């Protein structure tokens, strides 16, 4: 099933001398239940693409559909961004960005409350257990390791059963083994929950977890290269 | 889930510390308004308690507190004879300072026109009103004397028979009441120039008479103010207090106002004179200071609360990425501000009620100031959170993705 379709996305920062084309006509089709990698050198426009797909940054041009619903038309949002974030989108960042004054369970619960789809207490307990951090539910972020924080962050991204998870270098702050474990989890999420997952990464050792990879260079996207 | 509550709970120490600081600040605001009110109350309490409808004083003066006023004692009887007057009482007042066991006793001595006025209306909280024509005093508890204590004033010893509470003269000194005659005797022994001059005048007048020249021994008597000697004027009184039948009050006032040797003030006018004469400057000073304090405290509170919001920039951005509605983000900011203000207010009130009684001057918390400070806190915290919300709503969630 088609989770996301993007056509002709263009994004330019600055003007004149400082003008940078971060996206130069990006087309992309993401299927539910697949996890894909977004590779490319620094400055290639990967983060910009994630932000445009996540409706955090406005594109200058292009069209976007989520679950068949038109979201961007000529670069302009034509849907309720808040509603899309609540029900269709999940973000995972390089840093976990958990809310420091909420424990792990409450960090997930608050996302459930905002999404208003599942009963928060039950959903949070299930997700934390699913991601292997059920025993850390009462811990505050400052007491969690980087890997544990990232698992809680993934649980939070899953809180409202999103159709698309956007992850920008989610393992950059983790060591190899923990990074690998998080990548495996994202793959599991895609395959078991039927979510489309896009992961920006530099880590070429973990490429085997992806169903497909895209390469980005200078604002242009190439791919998909299907996994062997 | 109430995010403000969760945040407060997690940073309880900081929240309490912030609220205590806010509380201290506004306790000072409360104290200033209380000191201001206390000054006004203290200045007028004597006028209030002696409960006279009219104050008859020396012609052209604003006496007896704001201006010196000297009247012949016979005025008491003249006033009493005016139709409609229910009672006329002679009134004297003078601030005295006496050394007592190395401690300075400073008080305003007021003479009551005994036996009609025994100080029963003054709210004696301990002991009893004056019962004997000589030798008894009513003192304000703030003077620090006890019932039964004997004070040497002038040539005689006086014993404290009753205590009043918070009965002060306009300058803040405790009031001591004696019978009119006793008060005159005590004042006569005061070393102030005016009284020495008065004594000299009496002696001079005595020596002018044949009797005085033939009987030098009379000189000892004539300087004792308790003796009235036909040939010598009695010592002056400072005011005559008049109570009249309510229906005839205006009539009495008009009659007295026509007399050429006196000026008549109503109770309200007398209170205003005391305030204008004695405490107007201090009052304005306090008022200006209180205003500056209110502004400073409000700005500080606003800055503290706004800062709390700035610290949440990152969390607000995360909440936005989760799709949080504006109301949830506003609630986080506003509820925390209110919680700080409410705890701060409680601290200010608790601190005030514990500490203010130990202040040297009376601190009067009126309903207006207590409610006013509460409203002020609420308004300031709300305004600060409006600024905070305006900021939070504009927070761009973009940078969170990469940071
Ligand atoms: N907010 C911005 N303002 C100006 N230029 C930006 C901004 N964000 C990104 N860029 C520029 O856009 C290009 C793509 O950046 P980015 O999408 O962050 O690349 P990547 O994530 O692949 O490293 C870079 O040249 C970067 O300098
Ligand atoms: Mg990037």
Q: Tell whether ligand 1 has an atom less than 6 A from the beta carbon of residue A136.
A: no
Q: Which of A15, A17, A21, A22 to mutate to test the pocket of ligand 1 (most atoms within 8 A of CB)?
A: A22
What would the DSSP string read from start to end of A82-123? HHHHHHTEEEE-SS----TTS-HHHHHHHHHHHHTSS-HHHH
B49 upstream amide cis, omega within 30 of 0: no
CA atoms of A223 and A7, how far apart (whole Å)? 14
Angle formed by the axes of helices B326-355 and B313-321, to 10°? 150
Q: Where are the domains of chain B?
A: 3-43+280-402, 60-188+235-260, 190-232
Nearest to B321 by CA among A55, A104, A149, A163: A55
CA atoms of A219 and B377, how far apart (whole Å)? 53
CB A114 within 8 Å of CB B324: yes
> Tokens standing for B82?
């005016």
Bridge-based pairing of strands A2-13 and A20-31 is antiparallel
Interval B369-382: pLDDT, tens: 899 989 988 998 89
CA-nearest residue, atom 14 of ligand 1: A45
ipTM: 0.92
Confidence band for A224, pLDDT divided at 50, 70 and 90: confident
User: What does the DSSP 8-state code read for residue B398?
Assistant: G
CA atoms of B377 and B345, how far apart (whole Å)? 7
In a 10 Å sphere around its CB, with 0-12 CB exposed, 13-18 middle and 19+ buried, how is residue A223 labelled?
middle
Residues near B371 by beta carbon (within 8 Å), at least 6 away in sequence: none
- C-alpha distances in angstroms, B385 versus B25, B145, B308, B341, B392? 19, 53, 10, 11, 10
pLDDT at B80: 84
Q: Tell whether ligand 1 has an atom less than 6 A from the beta carbon of residue A93.
A: no
CA-nearest residue, atom 5 of ligand 1: A13
Nearest to B323 among A51, A82, A101 (CB): A82
Phi, psi of A75 (to 5 degrees): 85, -15
A44-53, A107-116, A182-191, B269-278: the lowest-pLDDT one = B269-278
Bridge-based pairing of strands A212-217 and A220-226 is antiparallel
Say yes or no to pLDDT of B403 above 60. no
- Whether A57 and B398 lie within 8 Å, measured CB to CB: yes
User: What does the DSSP 8-state code read for residue B271?
Assistant: H
CB B96 within 8 Å of CB B107: yes
Interface mutation target, options B321, B329, B331, B402, chain A, most CBs of A under 10 Å: B321
CB B53 within 8 Å of CB B88: no
CB B51 within 8 Å of CB B121: yes
Selection from A206-220, B219-233, B238-252, B385-399 with the highest mean pLDDT: A206-220
CB A92 within 8 Å of CB A171: no
SS3 B265: strand
- C-alpha distances in angstroms, B233 versus A98, A181, B261? 93, 111, 17
**pTM for this prediction:** 0.74
Confidence band for A7, pLDDT divided at 50, 70 and 90: very high
Mean pLDDT (chain B) is 83
What would the DSSP string read from start to end of A155-168? HHHTTT--SEEEEE
CA dihedral B380, B383, B387, B388 (to 10 degrees): 60
Interval A120-172: pLDDT, tens: 999 999 999 998 999 999 999 999 999 999 999 999 999 998 999 999 988 88
B179-183, B209-213, B265-269: the lowest-pLDDT one = B209-213
Please, what CATH class does the domain formed by A2-226 belong to?
Answer: alpha beta
Range A63-84 average pLDDT:
90
Confidence band for B193, pLDDT divided at 50, 70 and 90: low
| Strands lying side by side in the sheet with A20-31 | A20-31, A2-13, A61-66, A69-73, A76-77
Confidence band for B198, pLDDT divided at 50, 70 and 90: low
Which neighbouring-strand residues pair with B110?
Answer: B93, B177
pLDDT at B73: 81
- C-alpha distances in angstroms, B96 versus A214, B71, B153? 98, 20, 10
Nearest to B6 among A95, A101, A114 (CB): A101
CA atoms of B65 and B62, how far apart (whole Å)? 7
Mean pLDDT (chain A) is 91
Please, how many CA atoms are within 13 Å of residue A220, restricted to the half-sphere of its CB?
Answer: 3
Q: Tell whether ligand 1 has an atom less than 6 A from the beta carbon of residue A194.
A: no
Confidence band for A228, pLDDT divided at 50, 70 and 90: low
Q: Which of A24, A37, A43, A49 to mutate to test the pocket of ligand 1 (most atoms within 8 A of CB)?
A: A43
Nearest to A115 among B320, B323, B397 (CB): B323
Shortest CA gap B398–chain A (Å): 6
CA atoms of B377 and B395, how far apart (whole Å)? 27
């Amino acid at each position: 099933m088609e989770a996301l379709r993007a056509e002709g996305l263009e994004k330019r920062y600055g003007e004149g001398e400082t003008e940078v084309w971060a996206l130069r006509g990006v087309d992309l089709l993401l299927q539910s239940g697949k996890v894909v990698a977004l590779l490319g050198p620094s400055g290639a426009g990967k983060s910009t693409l994630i932000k445009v797909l996540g409706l955090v940054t406005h594109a200058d041009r292009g069209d976007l559909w989520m679950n068949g619903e038109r979201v961007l038309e000529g670069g302009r949002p034509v849907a309720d961004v808040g509603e899309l974030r609540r029900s269709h989108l999940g973000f995972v960042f390089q840093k976990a960005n958990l809310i420091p004054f909420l424990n792990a369970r409450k960090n997930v619960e608050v996302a459930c409350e905002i999404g208003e789809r599942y009963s928060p207490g039950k959903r949070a307990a299930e997700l934390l257990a699913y991601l292997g951090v059920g025993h850390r539910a009462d811990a505050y972020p400052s007491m969690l390791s980087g890997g544990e924080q990232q698992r809680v962050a993934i649980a939070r991204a899953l809180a409202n059963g999103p159709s698309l998870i956007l992850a920008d270098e989610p393992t950059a702050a983790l060591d190899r083994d923990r990074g690998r474990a998080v990548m495996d989890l994202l793959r599991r999420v895609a395959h078991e929950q039927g979510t489309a997952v896009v992961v920006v990464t530099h880590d070429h050792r973990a490429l085997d977890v992806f169903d497909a990879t895209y390469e980005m260079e200078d604002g242009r996207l190439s791919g998909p290269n299907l996994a062997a | 889930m109430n995010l403000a509550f969760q945040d407060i709970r997690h940073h309880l120490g900081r929240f309490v510390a912030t609220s205590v600081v806010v509380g201290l600040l506004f306790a000072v605001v409360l104290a200033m308004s209380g000191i201001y009110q206390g000054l006004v109350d203290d200045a007028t309490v004597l006028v209030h308690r002696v409960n006279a409808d009219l104050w008859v004083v020396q012609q052209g003066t604003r006496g007896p507190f704001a201006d010196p006023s000297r009247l012949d004692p016979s005025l008491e009887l003249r006033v009493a004879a005016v139709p409609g007057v229910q009672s006329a009482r002679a009134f004297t007042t003078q601030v005295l300072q006496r050394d007592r066991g190395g401690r300075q006793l400073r008080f305003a001595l007021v003479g009551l026109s005994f036996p009609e006025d025994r100080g029963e209306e003054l709210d004696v909280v301990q002991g009893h009103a004056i019962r004997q024509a000589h030798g008894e005093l009513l003192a304000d508890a703030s003077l620090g004397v006890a019932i039964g204590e004997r004070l040497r004033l002038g040539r005689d010893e006086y014993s404290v028979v009753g205590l009043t509470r918070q009965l002060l003269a306009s300058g803040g000194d405790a009031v001591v009441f004696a019978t009119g005659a006793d008060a005159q005797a005590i004042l006569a022994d005061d070393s102030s120039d005016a009284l020495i001059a008065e004594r000299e005048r009496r002696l001079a007048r005595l020596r002018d008479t044949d009797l005085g020249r033939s009987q030098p021994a009379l000189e000892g008597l004539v300087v004792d103010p308790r003796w009235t000697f036909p040939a010598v004027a009695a010592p002056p009184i400072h005011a005559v207090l008049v109570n009249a039948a309510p229906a005839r009050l205006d009539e009495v006032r008009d009659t007295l106002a026509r007399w050429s040797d006196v000026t008549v003030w109503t109770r309200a006018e007398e209170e205003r004179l005391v305030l204008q004469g004695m405490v107007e400057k201090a009052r304005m000073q306090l008022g200006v200071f209180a205003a500056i304090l209110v502004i400073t405290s409000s700005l500080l509170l606003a800055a503290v609360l706004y800062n709390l919001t700035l610290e949440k920039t990152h969390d607000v951005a995360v909440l936005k990425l989760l799709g949080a509605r504006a109301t949830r983000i506003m609630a986080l900011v506003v509820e925390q501000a209110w919680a700080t203000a409410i705890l701060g207010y409680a601290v200010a009130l608790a601190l005030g009620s514990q500490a203010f009684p130990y202040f040297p001057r009376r601190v009067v918390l009126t309903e207006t100031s207590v409610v006013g400070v509460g409203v002020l806190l609420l308004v300031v915290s709300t305004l600060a959170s409006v600024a905070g919300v305006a900021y939070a709503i504009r927070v761009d969630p973009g940078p969170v993705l990469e940071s």
